[in-house]
Amino acid sequence: MNPEQLAAQLRCPHDDDGLKVATNMDRRNAEVIEAAYAALDCRPGQRVLEIGPGGGGHVATLLRDRPGLDYTGLDLSPLMVREARAANHDWVEKGRARFLLGDLLAPPLADGGMDRVVAVNVVYFWQPLAPALERIHALLAPGGRCALGLRSRASMRELPVFEHGFALYDGPDLVAALEAAGFRSVRLEQAREETVNVLGQMMDKERLVVVGDKAEARV
């Protein structure tokens, strides 16, 4: 695949190439996924929405480690929804997981219905950014929390693939965007990680997790 084709697969995996890309992403995103969920601080019984879960390879471990958690995955890719449902069949059957096809800007979900929202390595595709963050804020219940996991602009700007439809961020710019969307107590977590990039090369990357809370309901 050339850089433009790879970028299209990262945005919305499809066909056999999409399966290969998604499998690689499950493995290469493990650290940032774990960091984003740690920042969410999920509690038993809470309702969690993940935007862009891909093949959902991490979901079984998530649900095993967090009893009572109710999980919803929302993805633009029909292929990824199908793969995630198959990979997590037992959890779907138990009623603790569901995978929906849809767009964040018009999700098949009720406002105020989620306690936690997480998105890992998909914020690059929310262009413009503000409507997506405002939609997440609307989907959260009062007192809910959002966590966005990503790699920094400095970690990504050297690779040609990210010149094709990716909006890159430094961290403070996302903090400001979440605050503008109505989130409170927005904070930025940064860490270094050595991992394989989308071209199969080892590289040192900066991991970012931006976390914001929705205000509690007034009484």
Residue, of 31 and 138, whose pLDDT is higher: 138
The closest alpha carbon to 117, from 73, 154, 83, 168, belongs to 73
Lowest mean pLDDT among 2-6, 72-76, 80-84, 126-130: 2-6
Q: Which residues, listed in sequence order, are joined to residue 204 by a DSSP beta bridge?
A: 194
pTM (2 d.p.): 0.92
Say if residue 40 is exposed, middle or buried (CB neighbours under 10 Å; 0-12, 13-18, 19+): buried
Interval 96-125: pLDDT, tens: 999 999 999 999 999 999 999 999 999 999
Interval 145-166: pLDDT, tens: 999 999 999 888 777 777 777 8
